Structure 1
Amino acid sequence: MMVILFINSVKLFNSLLQISFSFTFSNIIPMAQAKNYTLAIVLITSLFFFWGFIHNLDPILIPHLRNAFSLSHFQASLVDSAVFIAYFLLAIPAGLIMKRFGYKAGIIVGLVLFAVGCFLFVPAANTVSYAFFLGALFVVACGLAILETAANPYITVLGDPSKATQRLNFAQSFNGLAAFVAPIIGGKYILTEEPKSADEIAALGEQARAAYIQAETSSVKGPYLILGLVILAITAVFVLTRLPDVKEDEQSQSTGVFRAFRHKNVTWAVIAQFFYVGAQVCVLSFLVMFATDVAGIAPAEAKYYSGAAGLAFMVGRFVGTFFMRYVAPTRLLFIYALVASALTLVAIYATGPVTLYAMVGIAFFMSIMFPTIFALGVEGIGADTKSASSLIVMSIVGGAVLPPLLGLVSGATGSFQLAYYVVLACFAVVALFAWNNSGKRIQEVSGGH
């Protein structure tokens, strides 16, 4: 049943991809180039779906492991830290791989690590070790870091530079589709319908407690094993497919990665992306815990709010991509950041289901933030594109830093809601990034290409 559901989800992704291309492809890439770039864009876009899928299993995995191992909010947040610290450590090596061997090599290496990490969930579950789970997540994230460092800039250079932001938002829309599908599948096959509380687990006898924890951890093996096999199949497709070899200006290729900071848009994008990713993780990864702790929703029902947030995230990206035909990306980013800030205040001060409606709304309005910040960060920088991509992907470490900060604030204040001032501050930085560039094209500093 789980295999059928996962396969149907992939079929849904393929159908939506074909429909979306038929309606929007002519708007994101000139027809003269379509023949050369169509297959490449389809394949690269599929990667956005798959890494979005595993990222959006985390909101299910976090409360599941929190229950199984009786973790605090801070300890549970280490799931995200294990994931996003890999982006900080692997982004520059990923850039070096791409500079030396090209985008395709980076994608293949990333996919292999992605699959290996998925397979490691099997021994992690068998050994009933939280540290092993964190290690498996770290390996997966190493693969994702390399994939994102390669795929994000690659899709921006496949076609008309003036359409790069739209093209990246379009591809990222399928990341949003994964954000909708993953919590539903994960909630069905990972979350226990009626998990025991920490006190109930502590009250069990030693053998009963060990059996319960083993059963809880074993439920993750199937989904991650299937995903690993699918990723291996995707890897084979990339190995056998010839992708366009996009060449940037070779001048300055031998210089250091940090040379890209000479472009103001790169510097601003690194800062904005750090805070945005931190906000996204705090909102989406903690949504199930927020629903149970703040709104008083049962875990079995809370997973549907996580799915609703994923749906809002997906719709937001498609809607945002459409609006970018008529509204400057930076202006739209500024508007979305302001609305997300207002909804965060609702989530902080409201009570009951209203707080969850606000969280779902936040998911909609933060949907365009990552691809828009990324595309603006690598805009028009020529030979520094791969280096800039590494730096912006490194800034995803915000997803490792800010969720534990939210957990610490929650513990210090005794309020999970008040801790979301951390998220409000993040959206303020994104709004500042957009405001500083609103209504004008980002210019390169003196000496740029």
Structure 2
Amino acid sequence: MQLTHGIPLSIVATYVGVAGLSMASVFGAFKFLTLWRHVRLSRYKADKDAAAAQLASLRHALSASQALVREKEARVGSLEEDVGTAKKRLEEVARELELSRVQNQTLVDRGKSLATEVQWLNGETQRLNHDHAQTVELLQTRTAELKGAQAFLTKADHLSGADVIGMVEGLNSEIMQIAAFMAESFVSEEKMKRGVTSEEESDELRDARGQATEVLGTNMVELLRTFQHQDDPILIQIAFQACMCAYTHWIISSWYFEDPEIEHVLSEIFARVREAEEQAISGRWRALTRTYLHRMLGHEPDMSMYMVDAFVNVLITAGYQEKPAALQDRIMNDFAGRIRVILQAAQRLNRSIGEGVTSCDLEALYIAPSVPYDPTTMEDAFETTPKDKATTPEKVLCTTDLGLVRAEKVSGAVGEWQELVLLKPKVVLPSGLDDIVSGGE
């Protein structure tokens, strides 16, 4: 079928035939056709423009898609590079992981080996510590044994005999000075008078005389009671010296001042040790025992009142008219410092003789009242001893100066000692006071 400008010819023919078209009709038809063509062209143009717009849109979309594709391709390329890099890194990590696993296994094996070694070392350490502890304990035991043996076997003395002699002579000098000073202080007073008769004696006087007799002996107490002391203080001075010698001798020789029972026990023990053991052993036993006794005691007891009581007994026996308590107070107030000097010197001698000398035994030598005079071991304080040796020895009135004797155990013998008087004690004999007594009666 042919088309005329897009309109089928059959339609045109029909249209012409049916209507009996004239030329005008034909012109109208032509005009219609022209109009239709114009409409068609307009529609075509619109479609074309729409298609062109759509094409442009599609081209734009295509361009955008292509750009997106290119971007994605670039990204994919980058990702592929990253993936490649990651794969390489993964491979490296895998290799490193494998290496680490191998190293870890090596370390685990080494750790197990070291743990076994540490366990063995701990066992060895414990064994060595145990051996060390035993060695230290044994060393301490041996050290203590050697120290103990050294303490008992050493013969080194801290003081010589001459040193101790000087200390005793210094003590005697102090005793004489304070005795003379005190005697002068009391006899010049009106309260001192000749002794009273037995009927006039008070209980205080009898008690004082009894205690004075225990220290000075009967003969010296009788001289004190009957002598006129205001004329000469010598007898009171001698009595004071004798009292101080008696008490300082006790202090120097004592083991334990504060308990007579302990003193007796320790003296008995030392006597047996001294008799059975060698001098080095008994001397060190004495030194160590004295040392630890002083540490246990912790302080030096004040024995001033013992000596003050003795002075009071001498003064009351000699006729001093005063109550004992008042006399004690006065003596303590006026002479306490000098009395303590005497006591401290005696205590130093106790330590020096007891702890500082072990090669022998040094003992302060004191002669008790009524002991027969022996010029080989004593010295007459007034040098009035008869020269005739056949004369019966006088009996000692009292001791005014302490002496010093050295005794050393004979090695290998039991109860046998070599004794030597280093310093003779000075004693007062009745003959030495004859002129004094006859002049003071």
Structure with more of its chain in helix, by fraction: 1
Bigger Rg over Cα: 2
TM-score normalized by the length of structure 1: 0.26
Task: Return the structure number with greater relative CO, CA threshold 8 A, min gap 6.
Answer: 1
TM-score normalized by the length of structure 2: 0.26
Structure with more of its chain in strand, by fraction: 2
